[in-house]
Structure 1
Amino acid sequence: MARRRRPEEHENHERWLVSYADFITLLFAFFVVMYAISSVNEGKYRVLSDSLVNAFRNNPSAEMVTVRYEQAAGKPRQVVALQSSSQPASPALQEETRRMRGMAGDLRAALGPLINQGKVRVTQSRRGIAVEISDSVLFNTAQAELQPDSVAALTAVAQLLRANDNLIQIEGHTDNQPIRSQQYPSNWELSAARAASVVRLFAEEGVAPQRMVALGYGEYRPVESNDRDSGRARNRRVTLNILADNRDEVSVLPTDAPRPQAASQ
């Protein structure tokens, strides 16, 4: 008898579907896990989306979003703050804004010549007024004693400040050039001593000492690069911060402390 021929086995051309299906399954599982561990905040997304749309539409009543980063547990954390501009500011806030704007104008007028020379900068923000004074106006190199020519300018500033009750932060800054004198072992001591010299002068001119604080930052808060002479010159400065949102804090002053009197018109 003739032997039966076994049917030929055809090569399976669809074996790739098995690997493809495994790949798709793994990819799907990956995205599921990524979505599960993510922290999508729909409220923040909606606020940011609406703000961008209103900004491009030039809507004056749009809500504004402020995004800042805070340090939490060693890792930066994004914080989204919603600020609504649709409601008018309170009369007290409007009056405070006008008062601070007027004070900034008075400071610019008193320091006009130094501002024109680029030695002084007066800026205003929601935090308050910042008066940045170059160290060349106030001090000799590596010294913290006020120069006689600078006393007149600072006295004019003190006369404006003693008529209000805002808290004042006076900051001393240096460049990154080391200093190792017997009096000032480092830039920390030099910057703190310079800030204290301005505080002492203001106190002598009638500004309540309880309103002031002297801070020495040394070389660690530069506003320009220390790689250039112009940058180092800008970093050597004293900054007066007149805070705008602290009127309630001043009420904790001792009752026997002299309160500033309003300037006569």
Structure 2
Amino acid sequence: MARRRKRVIEEAEHQDRWMVSFADFITLLFAFFVVMYSISSVNKGKYETFSESLDKALFHSEKVLREVEPIQVGTIPTRIQPIELPNLITVTQEEHQLSEEIMEEKRRLNEVSDEFQRALQPFVESQLVGIKKHDFWVELEMNSELLFASGKAELSGKAIPVLEKVAEVVRDVPNVINVEGYTDDVPISTGIYPSNWDLSSARATSVVKELVKNNIPPTRLSAVGFGEFHPIADNKDEAGRFKNRRVVLVLMSQAFARYGMTDIERAKALKLAPQTETQQPEPVEKAPDAPAQL
């Protein structure tokens, strides 16, 4: 009986063994780049901590660990530094109180302006009286024809009732009053008034005296003469000269009046750099124009 031959099965040679070694190589290369990237993006503290930990694990080194910051896990919080602003103004309680006083004074001046408008309405309509309202003063402009005869400084009979109404409006408010006299440019030369300076100052003084008679405290009043040097109209014609001959009552804000706030109080109220009393011993404030005080 014939024997069957055993068929020898030869194992086939695997052609893809290289992939195992290649995959291990790629994995190590990937790990190497991960480590390189991680140590390149950490701060100094993280790097020193990682280096010492790796050295101790691999070489069993007994180095004394230096104090380092712990490795931060997650996003490192950002500390926002406050922005320093130069000359930052902090509103104190005292400054707030002064600001409230300024606002209250503005409201009071507005009320005075409205009272002038009501009390002197007929004269306003006839353009003998004008009222100008500002933030820190009120101007009551009266034509000289309403108060004086030509070339005279004595009050006329029709001026007395007008000034009585003015006194009623300003009597109960504490603001100082500058009485300003103006003339036209027609020269005057008499034994009593050698120049328009003298005439304008005398007219302002006559108005001040009449206000004192009507119980306005003298400490609130001042008389100023401007002469012909601050016209509001052209002196070439009679209409312009008529407007320029006038007396103006300026009801001043206490913040700007000479005998109102001190320099330090005024600086705080207006948010200005304060000055000490030694730098400016006596505050001097003037009306909107710089008058010649006589």
Where on the TM-score scale, by shorter chain, does this alignment land: which range?
Answer: 0.5 to 0.7
Aligned partner of 1:218 in structure 2 is: 227
Q: Does 1:143 align with 2:175?
A: no
Cα shift at 1:251 = 7.5
Q: Matched residues in 2 for 1:122 and 1:147: separation?
A: 21
Aligned partner of 1:130 in structure 2 is: 139
Secondary structure in 2 matching 1:151? helix
Q: Does 1:171 align with 2:180?
A: yes
Q: Does 1:195 align with 2:204?
A: yes
More strand per residue: 1 or 2? 1
Partners of 2:254 and 2:261 within 8 A in 1? no
Cα shift at 1:164 = 1.2
Q: How is 1:52-201 mapped onto 2 (pairs within 5 angstroms)?
A: 90-201=99-210
Cα shift at 1:91 = 3.2
Amino acid aligned to 1:136: E
Cα shift at 1:214 = 0.2
Q: Matched residues in 1 for 2:258 and 2:228: separation?
A: 33
List 4+ stretches of structure 1 deviating above 6 A: none
Tell me the percent identity: 33
Cα shift at 1:183 = 1.0
Q: Matched residues in 2 for 1:137 and 1:104: separation?
A: 20
Cα shift at 1:162 = 1.6
Secondary structure in 2 matching 1:100? helix
Aligned partner of 2:259 in structure 1 is: 249
Cα shift at 1:225 = 1.2
Q: Matched residues in 2 for 1:183 and 1:131: separation?
A: 27
Aligned partner of 2:85 in structure 1 is: none
Q: In structure 2, do the counterparts of structure 1 residues 222 and 243 end up closer, same or farther at CA, with 3 Å as the change threshold?
A: same
Q: Deviations over 1:92-149 (max 9, x none)?
A: 3332221111111001111110000001000111231000100000000000111111
Q: Matched residues in 2 for 1:219 and 1:90: separation?
A: 38
Give the aligned length. Answer: 165
Q: In structure 2, do the counterparts of structure 1 residues 90 and 102 end up closer, same or farther at CA, with 3 Å as the change threshold?
A: same
Partners of 1:195 and 1:215 within 8 A in 2? yes
Aligned partner of 1:48 in structure 2 is: none
Cα RMSD between the aligned structures?
A: 2.0
Secondary structure in 2 matching 1:176? coil
Partners of 1:119 and 1:134 within 8 A in 2? yes
Secondary structure in 2 matching 1:249? coil
Identify the match of residue 235 of structure 1 among 244, 250, 273. Answer: 244
| Structure 2 residue runs without a partner (length 5+) | 1-95, 263-294
